Amino acid sequence: MKKVLVVEDEAAIREFIVINLKRSGYDVLEAENGQEALRRYDANEDIDVVLLDIMMPVMNGMEACKELRKRSSTVGIIMLTAKTEEMDKVNGLLSGADDYVTKPFSPSELTARVDSVYRRVSMMTGVQPEQDIITLGEFSLDTRSRVLFRSGRPIELTQVEYQILEFLFRSPNTAVSRVDILHHVWGEGYFGEEKIVDVNIRRLRMKVEETPSSPKHLMTIWGIGYKWVE
């Protein structure tokens, strides 16, 4: 069964989320802070998606997100925040989250976001296709194991980072729009904003570029989007 961990310190909000996810067919676990979330995850490693509030006592959502990402590169992580500042969203994504939802949110929006992340998790952990290695210069992307190698050394990617990179690798030296990336990775029914693409590109550059501020491979094409240069 599809399993979600809801981490929220406000009981009323947590109950609202749990009820709606159960109605949508999810098996739901609960935690009220980051430390409890990690204990829950360690005891239930078949969790597919984690919803993490940012502002929590004991251990906040950002710290919990980093720890969860150390444990798994495939578990889906969605940050919940009552704040609207851009840096909250950016920092959440840079900490390893796949998406964010700003409070207040409707049941339909929440369910759509969880469904979208769950589909990506299912693709990552399900049956893999025949081995297909895409080699571009010193980089090789193994689409069976979903691992990126640079000169033979593996680079760990999250599910979102992998999907963006594979999309770019299959059309090297070709500009791809932010909208195309958004639709490919998050789906055409995505409720969020295009800037989620930019933040994940920034995170990818930190992993693949020697000097992320002066990239040589993952290039910005102003007014269009991005492309991978061999």
Stretch(es) of the chain classified as CATH 3.40.50.2300: 3-125
Give this prediction's pTM: 0.71
Q: Which residues contact 102 (CB under 8 A, 6 or more apart)?
A: 81, 82, 83, 84, 89
pLDDT digits (tens, 9 = 90+) for 117-172: 888 887 766 544 444 788 999 999 988 778 899 998 999 888 889 889 999 998 89
Q: Is 25 left (phi over 0), alpha (psi -120 to 50) or beta?
A: left
Domain 3-125, what fold? Rossmann fold (3.40.50)
CB 164 within 8 A of CB 122: no
Architecture of the domain delimited by 133-228? Orthogonal Bundle (1.10)
pLDDT digits (tens, 9 = 90+) for 158-210: 888 988 999 999 889 999 999 899 888 887 777 677 888 999 999 999 999 99
Stretch(es) of the chain classified as CATH 1.10.10.10: 133-228
